Structures are given as structure tokens and as C-alpha cells.
Amino acid sequence: MNNRKNIFLIAGDPNSINSEIIYKSWKKLNKKLRKRLYIIGSYDLIKKQFIKLRYKIIIEKIVSLNQLVNTDNFKIINIDLKFNHPFNVAKKESSDYILKCLNLGHILALKKNTLGLINCAISKNLFKRKKTGVTEYLANKCKIKDKSEVMLIKNNNFSVCPLTTHIDLKDVSRSITSKIIVIKIKTILKNFYKIYKKKPRIGVMGLNPHNAELRPDSEEVEQIIPAIKKLKAQGCKIEGPIVSDTAFINKYKKFDIIVGMYHDQVLSPFKSIFKYNAINLTLGLKYLRASPDHGVAIDIIKKNKANALSLMECIKFVNKFG
């Protein structure tokens, strides 16, 4: 292993736009940044995908972690699997592939000479455990037992955090507790300060329409408000519960972060406002992890229409810590 701080980029779901955005991003990087960037994936698969996409590029295959060459070439730490079809990989093969990539990425991310881990989009149905995404998978690998990991979607000016992540709406209500709200917001506070060197202004959304008019038996009164009061008493700059149907008209601009109760409550309006100008961070892991804030986009595979902005922002964000 070399002594330079490295960035490891997991190629992600083979049935996706990932190879396209990786190539487009790499072409825009300067030589210094190219030297520290390594792709974790199948050399065989990515080479076939590049041929299909008509990308002419020399790919350097790395077969040993003791041979992380110091070049600005397009470097792949090879996951030794063969694929017959570059963009039509069977579910079992895809699942085995992405789990091997994630496991290797996790191992490399723990090393002292690693700046951070980035993963491209992965379909949730490739995980063997239900209701699991990369956030939950890496939290489990890091042996986080108290659910303190946080999904944060951010750009340079604003962030959102869903309190619950990849669970069904029918399960959201019973997953919201004052304890979980406090744990996750403390994770946000700790990591936000590391990134921005300041305390964030946090807005917390209610769960129900019109905050359930603050009925005594509502989640707002029983769980959300007690958590906000506790955090305020500890010096947190926090307000809420905010009524969700108007939060993203103008009110969000007074906050650094808005915490919502479930995934689409905050991600849908955030993406409507900021489009691809965002990245996905997992806070609370033993290392820095980022990913583009979009999915596999199977409808535009091989069409050369994919927008690489989010991946570029991931690479630039991680590189800031070098």
C-alpha cells in the first residue's frame, strides 16, 4: 500500500448508469485526484461496459492490495468475477458482486491511508436482508447497534435527513421515538461540526398532516416535542415540529438541516429544488462514506444521457479532507 491518502469508489449495481457516470467523472478529474482514486469492481465487467458505450480508455487492473500503483490511469481493484452480459446481469450474480465490492470497500475504508469510500447506486433488491440499503449495510458492518447512523442528503448550502430510511410507510410511526430522534440528531451535531466547524440550525418536521393539530395521543406530542425540548436544553439550535406541507416553500432557508420522519418526506422536496446538486452521506460510521443522490436509472442505460454531477460532487467532497 502507498502512503498517499486514497479514495475508493465502488462501481455499484452492474445494471445501471454507473459505468457511464464513473467514466464522465474521471475524465474531468485532474491528474492529482486521478492518482488517489481507485475503482472497486470487476475489470471484466467494466471493460465490457466501456466497449459497449464506445469509451476508449486504458484500464489498469489491480489484483493485489499491495500493488496500488501511483499512476493517474483509470485503476480498477479487481473483483474477480466474469460476466456474459455487460448490462443484463442476473439478480443473484449482481447481488454476489455488489456484496463483494461493499465488503472490500469497507475493509479498505478502515485503513489509515483512506480518505473515504464512495459507492455508486445499488438497487435495494440486491441486498439479502429486507429493507436494507447501503446505509444500513455499512452500519451493520461497522457494528452500530444503537441505530445512531444517519442518512444525510446535502449540498453546499442545505441538508435533509430522514429519521427512518428504507422502511415501509406503515412501519414509520412505531419507529419514531424520542430516544431515536435524540440519538440521530446528536450524530448530526457531531459530524456537522467536523465538516463545517459550526453548530447547525436544525428544523424537525412533524409526522402527521398539520402536526395532527397537536392531539395528546399524536407522535408530535408523545415523541417529537419531548426530543426537541431535551435537545434544546442541551444547547442545540433546534425548532419544531414544523408542519411538513409548507416546510419547503421558504421556511427551510432558515435552517442548515431539516430532519424529517421518513424517506420521501424530505427527499422528494429536496430533489425537486436541487435536482442533481446533492450527495448522500452516511454519518456515524467509522469512516467517511458518500454516494450520488440518485438511483440506477435503468431507463437510460447505454443512452449516454446520465448526469454525473452528483458523483463529481461526492469525489470533490471526499477529496476536501485530503
Same-domain pairing of 105 and 173: no
Same-domain pairing of 44 and 180: no
Quote the pLDDT of residue 1: 45
List all residues 6 or more positions away from 295 whose beta carbon is below 8 Å from its beta carbon: 16, 121, 123
Grid coordinates representing 71 are 499512476
Q: Is the peptide bond before 241 cis (omega within 30 degrees of 0)?
A: yes
List all residues 6 or more positions away from 123 whose beta carbon is below 8 Å from its beta carbon: 13, 15, 16, 94, 295, 296
Same-domain pairing of 26 and 62: yes
Same-domain pairing of 235 and 255: yes
Asked whether the beta carbons of 310 and 294 are under 8 A apart, the reply is: yes
Measuring CA to CA, which residue among 20, 192, 34, 49 is closest to residue 120?
Answer: 20
Same-domain pairing of 308 and 226: no
Same-domain pairing of 250 and 316: no
DSSP string, 109-160: HTSTTEEEEEE----GGGSSSTT--HHHHHHHHTT--S---EEEEE-SS-EE
pTM: 0.90
Quote the pLDDT of residue 73: 93
Per-residue pLDDT of the chain (322 residues; tens, 9 = 90+): 456 789 999 999 999 999 999 999 999 999 999 999 999 999 999 999 999 999 999 999 998 888 787 799 999 999 998 888 889 999 999 999 999 999 999 999 999 999 999 999 999 889 987 778 898 899 999 999 888 999 999 998 899 999 998 889 999 999 999 999 999 999 999 999 888 888 999 999 999 999 999 999 999 999 999 999 999 999 999 999 999 999 999 889 999 999 999 999 999 999 999 988 899 999 999 999 999 989 999 999 999 899 999 999 999 999 998 7
Asked whether the beta carbons of 278 and 270 are under 8 A apart, the reply is: yes
Same-domain pairing of 45 and 172: no
Q: Is 63 exposed, middle or buried (0-12, 13-18, 19+ CB in 10 A)?
A: exposed
User: Rg (Cα) of the chain, in Å, rounded?
Assistant: 20
Same-domain pairing of 24 and 74: yes
Same-domain pairing of 251 and 318: no
Alpha helices, DSSP H, located in the chain = 18-28, 31-36, 43-53, 91-109, 134-141, 172-175, 178-196, 219, 225-233, 263-274, 309-319
Q: Which domain holds residue 76?
A: 1-144+285-322
Same-domain pairing of 23 and 138: yes
User: What CATH code is carried by the domain that includes residue 216?
Assistant: 3.40.718.10
Instruction: Please state the domain count of the chain.
Output: 2
Q: How far apart are CA 111 and CA 120, in angstroms?
A: 21
